[in-house]
Each structure stands twice: as C-alpha cells, then as structure tokens.
Structure 1
Amino acid sequence: MMRRAFTLIEIIITVAITGILSVGMFKAFEAITLRSEKAKILSVLSIDSQTALDQISILLYNRAPISVVGFNETDLRPYSPLSETVDKKIIEWYGLASESYLANNYSGFVDMNASSKPTLSSPNTDLAAVLATEQDKWGGSFALSDMVLIFSGSFDEGIRNDYNITASAVNTITLSGTLPDVIYEKYNLVDSAYAVTRKEDVSSCAKTSAYNNDTLLLFYNYRPWKNQSFCDGNVSVLATNVNAFRAQTINGTIRLAIDTNRTVRGGNPVRLSKQKVVF
C-alpha cells in the first residue's frame, strides 16, 4: 500500500507551527542572553563601585581632623565643612603625612613644658628622616615648605589653621610665618590634599578633558596652603559609568554613595547604588 503524501494544508500548518516555535525559542534565548549580560554588567559595576569606595575610604581614614570640605567648581575658598544637607559636587580633604612614616621618625605629640613658640619640642621626631620619606613618596623636589602642621586640638576636633614648618634639630619642629595663638599637645603633618568628583562637575579643568563625563576622578599631590587647586595636582580614574557621587556627614561619620549606570543591548539600563560609611 502506497503512503499518502502530505497535503498542502498540512505542510502550511507544519511550517506555521515550526515558525511559531522558532520565534518562541528565539525570544526565550534572547531573554536568557540578556539576563546573563545584565548579570555580568551588574557584577562589573558592583566590583568597580566597591573598589572606588574602598580606595576613597582608605584615603579618608588617613585624613587630618576636620579637614573635609565640600564645594562646587565655581565656589571660592575658604570652603565650608562637609554637610549633611547641602549638596556639593566635590569633596576635598587633607591627607596625613604620617601614613608613610616609620614610627621612630614622627611622634605627633608636643612636649608642652619644653616648647616655646616658634619652636616645638616633639620627642622621637626627626624632620630630616621625614623629608627623606616624603621625597621617596612625592619626588626629589619635595621640600619641608611643601608641608604644613595642623594642631589636632582636644579629641581631634582640631583647629583648621595651616602652619608652615622649617628644618630644625632632631626632636624639634620650628614654625614659620603666622604663629598660632595656642599650642596643642597633638599635631599632624600634612603633605597633600585630595579631592574626588565626577568629570562632568569639573569641566573647566584641562587635565580632565580626556575623560568621559561619567568618570569618577581622584585628584592628589596638590597643596591648597600654597594657593593650589585640585586641578594643579595629579589625576587618576576611580571608576567609570558613574552617574552620581555623593558625600555627607551623618552623626560624626562620612557617608559615601556612588550610583552607576550602564546601558546594555536593546537600550535596557542596569543601575547599581552602593554606600560606605567612613569613621
């Protein structure tokens, strides 16, 4: 008995069903691919934003007391302390020079009984050794005049005045220029300021022209006490695809927040926000 051939209607129905199944499978495969791509991008954004927050928090941990300020590109010094309510685009602080010193080169304390302005008695402090370390850190042209001394005051609540220092004998620090009215027992040596902001918020700085607007930048190796701005220093990239960066003080801590955003195939955005508290 001969096998009956397929009719035209059966062929059409078969092709239609196959087409429908193919479209469904393609949509399912596309959805799986898109989810996989989003998961990969989300992972990258998470790692990048966390790394940036960690880097900022490490530098902030080694900050001079009450030196953190917030400002916008058009603001003029002196800048106001970082606030909980006022939104500023740029965060800046003074970095402690002691982060790179050996313990026997820098004590951070003044012998009040043995001190008399402009000379401070600071046992276990050797400015020649300090300068050698600074030159290894910043370059051979670094001088003591590039540093300033800031008194911490009581309980690190500090006096935000920058005092110049000059070379002196071992265990002493000589202040120059305007002298303080009051000497405190604890002090910090500061060798650089740091600033963090997005490129979009410092568009007038020529050093940032090579970066996209959503790049989060770190400025360093500049000295406001020498009338330098953040654009006079070095710049490096902390993170890309950053559509917002915020910093505010809450209950004596600094809260950092980074919002990242990246578009995947088809125009679908992937967004991620991360926060970190610095004490």
Structure 2
Amino acid sequence: MKISRSAFTMVELVMVIVIFGIIAMISADIFVKIYDSYILTRSMNNLQSKTELALDQIARRLQYRIKDSTIARKEVDGTDYLFLADADDSYHILEWIGYANEAYKGKWDGTKNTPGWSGFIDLDNANTDKSGVSSPGSRFDFANSIINSLSKNSVSLDGSADHTAIVMDGHVGDYNVSSYGWYPWHDNNYALRVKCHGGACSGSGLMQLDFIDTNSSKEIYEHYKLAWSAYAIAPECPTGVTDDCNLTLYYNYRPWERQRCDQDANHTLLVEHVTTFKFNQMGDSIRLKICIGENIYDKNISFCKEKVVF
C-alpha cells in the first residue's frame, strides 16, 4: 500500500517566510508609531498640566492685587520699570502689591466670622486725621495674627517688625505708580505705613490704626485695603538663553519699607523650561501667556496657554 504525503515546496516555504517577514516589519512599525504617539500624548498632557497649574497660581495671586500698583520691569534687579499698561514686550518681570485677603476674611469671634480689617474708614471720626484712621468693624488683632503667621513673623501690626500699609481706593490729581514705593525708591505716598493704635492690637487698637509718618498731610478716603507684601513673577534664564527659563515667584517683601524682590524677598520656583512668558494690561484686566517646552527624541515640543485675570 502506497501512502502519499503532501509537503511545502521550497518555493512555498520561502514565500511564507517572506510574507511573515513583511507582516513583522509592518507590525513593528505600527507598534513604534503607537508608542511614539503615546509618549508624545503623555508629554503634551504633562506640559498642559504644568502650564495650567502655573497660570492658576499666578492668577490667584493677581486676583488680590491692588490694581494701580502693578508694574513691569526689564530686569529683576533693574531700575527700569513702567506702569503695566504702558509697558511693551521688552519688560519681562511682572510686579504688584497684593492686599491681605486672608486677613480680610478674619476669624471666628465666638458668635460670627469677623474680618480682620473692614476696608472702611470713618471720615467723621475725630481719630481720623494725618496721625491715624478709625476703621469700624475691624479686628486688627485678628489681622495681626494672620499676617504675622503668613509672613513668618516678619510683619506685625503692633510695630515689632516690618509694617503693614494701607492703600486708599481712589487717587486724585496726578497719578504716579512710583508712589507705591517701588525701587529705585521715590516715595510711598500711596502705601501708607501703619500700626495698631498705640502699638497695641487691643482695646482702641482693635479698630484704629496709627500712621508711622504722622507729620505729613495725606489723602484719606472712605475705602482702603490693607497690604503686607508685594509679589513679582520673573523668568530666570541661563546666560544667552531666552527660550528655556525657570519662572520664579518672589513674595514677602515690602516696597514701602524700602525692600526689593531680588534682595529681601522669599522666592519659590513655579515651573521650569518656560519658553514664553508674556503679559499685558487691557483696562483693569491682565492677559497672561505661558509656553512650556520639552525635548522628545531630539524634537522640541511646547504647549501654550493664555488666561485673563480681572
């Protein structure tokens, strides 16, 4: 009995091997492209998260700015600055005075939440003159403890450390942004240094503030804001590099005390590898733009985002 067996010929085997090789090459190329796409997508999502986080941190602080105090500088240690609305793209550093929002919210006094400072001045009160102001509804002992904690004991309303300042809402006559005390120091007629009445944040000092400068005349209005710190956002770049910088936040310094961000402030890194940091003012609104970059497979990718702060 003869048994016949079928088998692949050499040609058929070669063809099968060739086909499998082609499929393997195509599959490998597909897998490489899928992996590259995954890496790129992950990097873009990471850049997006970093950009949004940095913008949110800046916007939250700018939200509580004293709007007329905002300036732009060319260098962090330089003397060249302008009111933000007058600055162009050659000004890279954003700087402003913030009002004490946490102290404004105050504390629980046992029956209700009471603001640390009310923002109102009693213009008819006999204690409101060039030596001080009366601010009904305030609890400056609350404001003092909150500001003292936030400033790491460097600011106090009792006069034992750096002074807080009050800024009146509404200027008359010629407006001059340098009057907030910015370096190079001119004057601080808009940021008036104060302490609790008699240096004690109790008794009459709960609702009265004394001006440190009691001699000069002052423009006093019904509304004010209490401030304990200025802030600055500055890109810090290697020498000769403009498109790969670290964005740094400076805080806890006081222009009205002749302090400057590059010498007297605390600072913290906001985000690395910033390729673009731009800002401009439109009316009372500030428009911010940040781009962050990353190198993937010898290719530079970046993500940009803009935000408007009112």
TM-score category, normalised to shorter length: 0.7 to 0.9
Cα drift, residue 58 of structure 1: 0.9
- 2:291 is equivalent to residue 259 of structure 1: yes
Cα drift, residue 65 of structure 1: 2.8
Paired position in structure 2 for 1:226: 257
Matches within 5 A, 1:44-59: 44-59=46-61
- 2:161 is equivalent to residue 149 of structure 1: no
Distance in 2, Cα, partners of 1:128 & 1:272: 46
- Cα distance 1:54–1:5, how it changes in 2: closer, same or farther (>3 A)? closer
Query: Aligned residues: percent identity?
Result: 26
> Of 268, 271, 277, which residue of structure 2 is paired with 1:236?
268
Paired position in structure 2 for 1:274: 305
Paired position in structure 2 for 1:172: 208
Q: Which has the higher helix share?
A: 1
- Structure 1: runs of 5 or more not aligned: 204-211
| Amino acid in the other structure paired with 1:147 | T
| Amino acid in the other structure paired with 1:109 | F
Is the partner of 1:198 in helix, strand or coil? strand
Cα drift, residue 5 of structure 1: 5.6
Paired position in structure 1 for 2:146: 133
Matches within 5 A, 1:99-114: 99-101=102-104, 102=106, 103-114=114-125
- Cα distance 1:129–1:85, how it changes in 2: closer, same or farther (>3 A)? closer
- 2:281 is equivalent to residue 245 of structure 1: no
- Cα distance 1:85–1:173, how it changes in 2: closer, same or farther (>3 A)? closer
> Of 223, 228, 232, which residue of structure 2 is paired with 1:191?
228
- Greater shift, 269-278 or 84-93, is seen at 84-93
Distance in 2, Cα, partners of 1:28 & 1:40: 18
Is the partner of 2:304 in helix, strand or coil? strand
- Cα distance 1:197–1:12, how it changes in 2: closer, same or farther (>3 A)? farther
Cα drift, residue 143 of structure 1: 2.4
Q: Is the 8 A contact 2:118 2:136 kept in 1?
A: yes
Residues 1-60 of structure 1: CA deviation (Å, up to 9, x unaligned):
3546633x6555544443333222221111111111111111111111111111111111
Q: Is the 8 A contact 1:196 1:217 kept in 2?
A: yes
Cα drift, residue 255 of structure 1: 0.6
- Cα distance 1:139–1:5, how it changes in 2: closer, same or farther (>3 A)? closer
Is the partner of 1:194 in helix, strand or coil? strand
Is the partner of 1:123 in helix, strand or coil? coil
> Of 62, 66, 69, which residue of structure 2 is paired with 1:67?
69
Q: Is the 8 A contact 2:130 2:218 kept in 1?
A: no
- Cα distance 1:132–1:2, how it changes in 2: closer, same or farther (>3 A)? closer
> Of 101, 118, 122, which residue of structure 2 is paired with 1:98?
101
> Of 100, 117, 125, which residue of structure 1 is paired with 2:130?
117
Q: Is the 8 A contact 1:262 1:269 kept in 2?
A: yes
State how many pairs are aligned.
Answer: 267
Is the partner of 1:44 in helix, strand or coil? helix
| Amino acid in the other structure paired with 1:153 | G
Give the TM-score taking structure 2 as reference length.
0.76
Residues 222-268 of structure 1: CA deviation (Å, up to 9, x unaligned):
2222222223222222222321111111233101111111122x223
- Structure 2: runs of 5 or more not aligned: 107-113, 181-189, 198-204
| Amino acid in the other structure paired with 2:261 | F
Larger gyration radius, structure 1 or structure 2: 2
- Greater shift, 73-82 or 236-245, is seen at 73-82
- Cα distance 1:173–1:100, how it changes in 2: closer, same or farther (>3 A)? closer
Give the TM-score taking structure 1 as reference length.
0.84
Residues 48-97 of structure 1: CA deviation (Å, up to 9, x unaligned):
11111111111111111311111121674473111376012111111111
